[in-house]
């Protein structure tokens, strides 16, 4: 058998892997968001779509009127619609927004904060990557509260992912594409960068559809920010590690929306998961789709998160 990068093609009879489109982490105009999700509904091989505002509750009113139409279009296309909650609650209005999201009937909810988990206690729900699930005890405890699917934090290495996947306590999802969400703050970095305060930000975050790049004092790009969120500057990619993750028992992979052709990104991951595209070719094609954005996968290998490690060759 020829050498391939990232592992062998999936074996016959293996459970089909599924793709989740995570919540939008950037501030796009309402019309652009609506068109984006319509295209995802009609063209992308995505199984589940996370909607909702997870960065700043002030952004939500601009898209709120379009949300019912987007939900209907996605559901009609056979996509599972998931409502994601805020990962950081700073004000009473934030808590009210979380309660309203959790209380929406008929849809799965993804909790990104322990307050939402407490509201959902005893009811079936999912957990986003902002909840710190680092060990089997935590996973089993949260599963006992009702969590049936968990998107793991982006900083976990392969060994930890494998251990958690093998518990069988909940379905494990891995963040496989997009700038990595690293931290969040009560302060709006975007507003501060323009000399404004959070309450009079004038929504300057809309200027940067993939986040505002932050440089070190040596003028080397190190992070990107979206409102109060700190993201990695490089784009996380585990397309070369999909086969290894499948062997660990991971069956669900998350793609984070970016201002690129996300339909093509989803098709590429689908082809790689189904064995129609070899990992090396998939990685090269993905590089073309994201333009000049560098890749990283260091956390997976226990290295610095910003680094990119070539997947090992397998026979």
Confidence of residue 260 (pLDDT cuts 50, 70, 90): very high
* pLDDT for 2: 32
d(CA 178, CA 208): 15
Predicted pLDDT of residue 14: 57
Q: What is the pLDDT of residues 44-62, one digit of tens each?
A: 999 999 998 899 888 877 7
Band of residue 37 on the pLDDT scale cut at 50, 70, 90? very high
Per DSSP, what are the bridge partners of residue 104?
none
**What is the arithmetic mean of pLDDT over 293-311?**
95
pLDDT at 135 over 90: yes
Q: How many CB atoms sit inside 10 A of residue 110's CB?
A: 32
* pLDDT above 80 (res 289): yes
Please state, as a whole number, how many other Cβ atoms lie within 10 Å of the Cβ of residue 313.
11
Torsions phi, psi of 125, nearest 5? -155, 175
Residue 15 and residue 250: Cα distance in Å, rounded? 10
pLDDT at 233 over 60: yes
In terms of pLDDT, which residue wins out, 141 or 187? 141
Q: What is the pLDDT of residues 93-120, one digit of tens each?
A: 888 888 888 877 788 999 999 999 999 9
- Span 64-86, average pLDDT: 93
Query: What is the pLDDT, as a whole number, of residue 94?
Result: 83
What ranges do the domains of the chain cover? Answer: 4-178+236-297
Q: Cβ neighbours of residue 192 under 8 Å, at least 6 residues apart?
A: none
CB 205, CB 226: distance < 8 Å: yes
pLDDT above 50 (res 8): no
Quick one: 4-178+236-297 is in which CATH superfamily?
A: Aldolase class I (3.20.20.70)
SS (H, E, C) the chain: CCCEECCCCCCCCCCCCEEEECCCCCCCCHHHHHHHHHHHHHHCCCCEEEECCCCCHHHHHHHHCCHHHHHHHHHHCCCEEEEECCCCCCCHHHHHHHHHHHCCCCCEEEECCHHHHHHHCCCCEEECCCCCCCCHHHHHHHHHCCEEEEECCCCCCHHHHHHHHHHCCCEEEEEEEEEEEEEECCCCHHHHHCCCCHHHCCCHHHHCCCCEEEECCCCCEEEEEECCEEEEEEEEECHHHHHHHHHHCCCEEEECCCCCCHHHHHHHHHHHHCCCCCHHHHHHHHHHHCCCCCEECHHHHCCCCCCCCCCCEEC
Non-local CB neighbours of 103 within 8 Å, separated by 6+ positions: none
Mean pLDDT estimate for the chain: 90
Q: Per-residue pLDDT for 177 more than 80?
A: yes
Phi, psi dihedrals of residue 227, rounded to the nearest 5°: 60, -115
301 falls in which pLDDT band (50, 70, 90)? Answer: very high
Would you place residue 314 in the very low, low, confident or very high pLDDT band (cuts 50, 70, 90)?
Answer: low
- Over pLDDT 90: what percentage of the chain? 70
Q: In angstroms, how far is CA 160 from the centroid of its own chain?
A: 18
CA atoms within 13 Å, Cβ hemisphere of 287: 11
pLDDT band at 13 (very low <50, low <70, confident <90, very high): very low
Report how far residue 67's alpha carbon sits from residue 34's, in angstroms, rounded to the nearest whole number.
8
Whole-structure pTM value: 0.92
- Which range is least confidently modeled, 10-19, 198-207, 214-223? 10-19
At residue 72, the pLDDT reads: 95
The sign of the CA dihedral 134, 137, 111, 248 is positive
CA distances from 35 to 42, 81, 226 (A): 11, 17, 21
Section 202-218 average pLDDT: 89
């Amino acid at each position: 058998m020829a050498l391939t990068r990232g592992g062998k093609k999936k074996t016959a009879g293996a459970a089909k892997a599924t793709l989740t489109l995570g919540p939008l982490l950037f501030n796009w105009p309402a019309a652009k968001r609506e068109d984006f999700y319509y295209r995802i509904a009609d063209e992308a091989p995505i199984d589940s779509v996370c909607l909702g505002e997870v960065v700043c509750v002030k952004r939500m009113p601009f898209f709120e009127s379009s949300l019912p139409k987007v939900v209907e279009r996605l559901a009609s296309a056979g996509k599972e619609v998931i409502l994601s909650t805020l990962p950081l609650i700073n004000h009473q209005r934030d808590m009210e927004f979380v309660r309203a999201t959790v209380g929406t009937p008929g849809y799965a909810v993804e909790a990104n904060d322990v307050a939402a988990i407490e509201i959902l206690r005893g009811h079936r729900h999912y957990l986003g990557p902002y909840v710190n699930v680092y060990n089997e005890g935590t996973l089993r405890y949260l599963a006992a509260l009702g969590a049936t699917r968990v998107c793991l934090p982006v900083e976990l290495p392969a060994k930890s992912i494998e251990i958690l996947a093998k518990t069988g306590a909940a379905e494990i999802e891995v963040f496989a594409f997009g700038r990595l969400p690293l931290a969040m703050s009560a302060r709006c970095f975007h507003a501060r960068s323009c000399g404004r305060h959070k309450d009079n930000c004038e929504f300057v975050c809309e200027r940067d559809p993939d986040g505002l790049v932050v440089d070190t004092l040596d003028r080397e790009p190190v992070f990107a920010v979206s409102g109060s969120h700190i993201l990695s500057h490089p784009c996380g990619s585990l397309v070369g590690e999909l086969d290894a993750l499948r062997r660990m028992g991971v069956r669900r992979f998350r793609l984070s929306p970016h201002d690129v052709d996300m339909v093509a990104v989803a098709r590429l991951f689908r082809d790689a998961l189904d064995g129609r595209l070899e990992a090396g070719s998939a990685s090269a094609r993905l590089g073309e789709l994201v333009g000049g954005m560098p890749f990283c996968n260091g956390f997976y290998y226990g290295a610095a998160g910003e680094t990119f490690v070539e997947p090992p060759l397998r026979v």
